[in-house]
Amino acid sequence: KNEVEQSPQNLTAQEGEFITINCSYSVGISALHWLQQHPGGGIVSLFMLSSGKKKHGRLIATINIQEKHSSLHITASHPRDSAVYICAVRSPRGGADGLTFGKGTHLIIQP
């Protein structure tokens, strides 16, 4: 069983829909990152969370440490939000970089 599980693996939605991507993990963590990987491959860090909730524009990230679960929400989704969203947790069991990555959620927003 992977230590970081994301769901869904693939998601196609219509422009304007509210999007939720989930991340569950099985280890104790010090932080959780949400990353966005564009079709060209470049990766941008969206959020780093250790508790509670963060908001940036149309993006909201929440984490429940007790439940070992985090969600990334996109409000009023737009085709430019189409990307792969990756959850990564920072823990002592991570690699030398301290991170364990999920496989990503491939999101397509259709106009």
Site residues (vs another protein, CB under 8 A): 31, 33, 35, 40-45, 48, 86, 88, 95-97, 99, 101-104, 106
With beta carbons less than 8 A apart as the criterion, state whether 36 and 87 touch: no
Instruction: Considering the complex, state which of residue 17 and residue 27 has its C-beta at the smaller distance from another protein.
Output: 27
Instruction: Considering the complex, state which of residue 19 and residue 86 has its C-beta at the smaller distance from another protein.
Output: 86
d(CA 16, CA 109): 9
Instruction: Considering the complex, state which of residue 39 and residue 111 has its C-beta at the smaller distance from another protein.
Output: 39
Specify the DSSP element, H or E, that contains 74. strand 69-74
